[in-house]
Amino acid sequence: MNKIEHKLFCRKATLKDMRLYYNWTNEPKVRKNSLNNKYISWNFHKNWFKKKMRSKKTVLYVFEKKDVAVGQVRFDRKNKIVKLSFSICKSFRERGFGKKMVTMAIKKYRLNKKITFIGEVKPKNFSSIKIFKSLGFTMDFINKIYRFKKICV
């Protein structure tokens, strides 16, 4: 893998990214691997996205390579537990971007605070399982879902 391929830029999402997130979230493989498989309507997504953008407990990051959106990482915080989720644009999958994005997002988000990150993954989402394992997350199997956990101090 070429190092140049992994030069990523991370920025916080804006309301202008609403359509981008909508397209990503309804991509068939994303729906298949999501805990909620159902198609997301535009009206539902619009309300959800605006709510997440206003929330002080949510951070949405967009990753770009040469001004092209590659994927996103989302953090939803409840006290010192932070739920992490991510997705990668179809044309950038299986090229190592997922691990790089999650690593960069965790580093940017935590800012030297002690935080417990949680990721929930369906058993057949092998790419996400591989990423969480490679980043040192511990794994439990709870209610037919893999739950990954990592404490950063």
CATH of the domain at 71: 3.40.630.30
Classify residue 45: in a domain, yes or no.
Answer: no
Residue 92 has pLDDT above 90, yes or no: yes
Classify residue 89: in a domain, yes or no.
Answer: yes
Model confidence band, residue 85 (pLDDT cutoffs 50, 70, 90) = very high
pLDDT > 90: what percent of the chain?
82
Model confidence band, residue 9 (pLDDT cutoffs 50, 70, 90) = very high
Report the pLDDT value the prediction gives residue 99, as an integer from 0 to 100.
94
Any idea how long the chain is? Answer: 153
Q: Which domain holds residue 74?
A: 3-13+57-152
Model confidence band, residue 6 (pLDDT cutoffs 50, 70, 90) = low
Q: What is the pLDDT of residues 17-57, one digit of tens each?
A: 999 999 999 999 999 989 889 999 999 999 999 999 999 99
Classify residue 93: in a domain, yes or no.
Answer: yes
Classify residue 46: in a domain, yes or no.
Answer: no
Classify residue 28: in a domain, yes or no.
Answer: no
Q: Give the chain's domain count.
A: 1
Classify residue 78: in a domain, yes or no.
Answer: yes
* Exposed / middle / buried, residue 112 (Cβ in 10 Å: 0-12, 13-18, 19+): exposed
Classify residue 128: in a domain, yes or no.
Answer: yes
Measure the CA–CA gap between 22 and 25, rounded to whole angstroms.
Answer: 5
Measure the CA–CA gap between 89 and 70, rounded to whole angstroms.
Answer: 5
Classify residue 49: in a domain, yes or no.
Answer: no
Model confidence band, residue 112 (pLDDT cutoffs 50, 70, 90) = low
Residue 2 has pLDDT above 50, yes or no: no
Instruction: Read off the tokens for 52.
Output: 């997440």
Cβ distance 139 to 131 under 8 Å? no
Report the pLDDT value the prediction gives residue 113, as an integer from 0 to 100.
77
Report the pLDDT value the prediction gives residue 11, as an integer from 0 to 100.
96
